[in-house]
């Protein structure tokens, strides 16, 4: 088959090392599953931003191993209205964040020169914030506390797997522009954490 031979020749001649940067959108199912109550605020938006980098090394004709890091941030802006002792209405403003740091080791397989599948292991740490109501001070103003749960104070870390695909096209002899879709599943708590869709820029050495 001429097409298969041409593809084998292309992958064999490809550079071995790739450096990639990515930045785009994240949909976080876990972060958006929280619910606010009159006493506690912790829900953030489903959509957020995700970005990071990846280093890959080609093995064989169509395979590669890669180490990657992705940081995702989901936020929400909270406004809590209250009535002052002199009868006016004011608000207390908060901006809550839910941050994931995802460290990944994956194996990639090229289906065509432009399409790649990937799957691998995941180590994830999380920092999530919440605001809780503490009562009224002597001046009639509500008092709130802000706390953060993270790896350092609460061991907020999980293990899981990642999988997805990427489409990319060459824009130079060493540069490729693409789009990557990746899902993150936490085996330690049996939860689908998030889905990222990020444009990618890869430099080959």
Question: What is the per-residue pLDDT for 84?
Answer: 66
Residues of the chain with pLDDT under 50: 1-12
Supply the pLDDT for residue 1: 42
- The CA–CA distances, whole Å, from 37 to 34, 53, 156, 161, 167 equal 10, 37, 23, 33, 42
Q: What is the pLDDT of residue 85?
A: 65
pLDDT value of residue 4: 45
Strand boundaries in the chain, DSSP class E: 17-28, 40-41, 47-59, 63-83, 89-110, 115-136, 142-149, 157-170, 175-186, 191-204
pLDDT at residue 108 in the model: 97
């Amino acid at each position: 088959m001429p097409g298969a031979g041409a593809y084998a020749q292309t992958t064999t001649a490809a550079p071995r090392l790739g450096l990639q940067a990515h930045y785009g959108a994240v949909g976080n199912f876990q972060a958006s599953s929280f619910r606010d109550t009159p006493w506690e605020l912790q829900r953030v938006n489903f959509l957020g931003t995700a970005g990071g980098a990846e280093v890959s090394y080609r093995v064989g004709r169509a395979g590669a191993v890669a180490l990657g890091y992705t940081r995702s941030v989901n936020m929400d802006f909270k406004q809590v209205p209250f009535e002052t002792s002199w009868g006016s209405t004011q608000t207390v403003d908060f901006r809550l964040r839910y941050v994931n740091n995802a460290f990944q080791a994956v194996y990639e397989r090229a289906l065509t020169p432009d399409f790649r599948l990937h799957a691998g292991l995941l180590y994830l740490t999380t920092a999530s914030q919440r605001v809780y109501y503490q009562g009224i001070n002597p001046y009639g103003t509500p008092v709130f506390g802000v706390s953060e749960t993270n790896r350092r104070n609460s061991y907020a870390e999980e293990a899981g797997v990642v999988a997805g695909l990427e489409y990319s096209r060459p824009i130079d002899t060493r540069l490729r522009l693409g789009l990557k879709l990746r899902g993150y599943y936490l085996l330690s708590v049996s939860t689908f954490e998030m889905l990222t869709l990020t444009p990618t820029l890869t430099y080959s050495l």
